[in-house]
Amino acid sequence: MTTHSTGDTTLTIFHKTIQLNGVDLFYRESGPADSPVILLLHGFPSSSFMFRNLIPLLNNKYRLIAPDYPGFGHSSVPAAKKFNYSFEQIASVIESFVDILGLRKFSMYIQDYGAPVGLRLVTKRPELLQCLIIQNGNAYEEGLADSWAPLKAIWNDPDHPQKKKAVYDFMKLDGTKLQYTAGVDDPSKISPDTYTFDQYLLERPGVKEIQYQLFYDYRTNVRDYPLFHKMFREYQPPALVVWGEKDIFFTKEGALAYAGDLKNIEFNFYNTGHFALEEYPKDIAEKIDLFLQKNLGQLQKD
């Protein structure tokens, strides 16, 4: 394991790498070791980098852990011939990661790809989950916006040249930038470092082919939505929704749909798009803290 850190206080953010079955998995970690854990699961095309502004706002009270999936961020990129790039496999890697770190209970923040990854994990092992924080992470068919049409088109025809080209075009810089800027309240708050960094990583050899496999595999998440809903109804984790309501990929209707299965749920909508943390990190951090203080305390009483 290699460790790098910034600063020299107890609130240092550590940047670590751990090896899991031949994969070097990078993660960010900060906060007191004996504090309640928040597992932060990122989306596409980002990485744990998306939590860089949130972690310093919460690490005085919570232990925050944010891994990069294989093929993302600073984790290794095993060749597609050697690694099964599916959401089931990524969830399995994160499960092993959780076990190696000895995480027996945690709250989970899910965004975009983090939703199917995290929900697969806690559907299999619901005893791990304390509270659920949902930020533009979909689990309902009504949450898939019209912009998903080119991606859905490959689910039944992944080798069609024109359909495949449309998905690859989406992974160009304009498409990556769009994910950060569409629907935002104030574009000047969006650092170009975000989409520039993501695009740099997407341009690495083989990465777009890996992402194409995941776009194709996304159909299995929709298939498994009923399993997630069943887990919600049976285990009823307290849930906090912090959602950019102008997201062009995941709709507000998809956010509201969680209330059909979860009884203890709070909604907060923001005048922004897919990456709400880029504009509203402080407000989201405050909402998370209030929510966890109330619900973790109640869980301990129960």
Q: How many domains does the chain have?
A: 1
Q: How wide is the angle at C-alpha 26 spanned by C-alphas 23 and 30, nearest 5°? A: 145
Residue 188, in any domain of the structure: no
Residue 169, in any domain of the structure: no
Phi first, then psi: give them for residue 33, nearest 5 degrees.
Answer: -65, -25
Residue 215, in any domain of the structure: no
Statement: residue 278 has pLDDT above 60 = yes
Residue 171, in any domain of the structure: no
Residue 166, in any domain of the structure: no
pLDDT at 6: 42
pLDDT at 8: 42
Q: What does the pLDDT average to over 282-288? A: 98
Phi first, then psi: give them for residue 251, nearest 5 degrees.
Answer: -80, 160
40-72 pLDDT tens trace? 999 999 999 999 999 999 999 999 999 999 999
148-198 pLDDT tens trace? 999 999 999 999 999 999 999 999 999 999 999 999 989 999 999 999 999
Q: Is 110 helix (H, G, I), strand (E, B) or coil?
A: strand
Statement: residue 216 has pLDDT above 70 = yes
The distance between the two most distant Cα atoms of the chain, rounded to a whole number of Å, is 57
- Residue 287 contacts residue 64 (beta carbons within 8 Å): no
- Tell how far CA 202 is from the center of its chain: 17
How is 169-203 classified by DSSP, letter by letter? HHTSHHHHHHHHHTT-S-GGGS-HHHHHHHHHHHT
274 is catalytic: yes
Domain membership of residue 45 as a residue range: 2-145+221-301
Q: What does the pLDDT average to over 90-111? A: 97
For 8, other C-beta atoms within 10 Å of its C-beta total 7
pLDDT at 274: 98
Among the options 4, 15, 229, 274, which is catalytic?
Answer: 274
Residue 205, in any domain of the structure: no
pLDDT more than 90, % of the chain: 92
Residue 40, in any domain of the structure: yes
pTM of the model: 0.95
| Distance separating alpha carbons of residues 49 and 47, to the nearest angstrom | 5
Q: What is the mean pLDDT of the chain?
A: 94
Q: Is 195 helix (H, G, I), strand (E, B) or coil?
A: helix
The CA-atom distances, in angstroms, between 235 and each of 19, 76, 281 are 32, 35, 29
Residue 9 belongs to domain with CATH number: 3.40.50.1820
Residue 108, in any domain of the structure: yes
Q: What does the pLDDT average to over 233-247? A: 98
144 pLDDT tier (thresholds 50, 70, 90)? very high
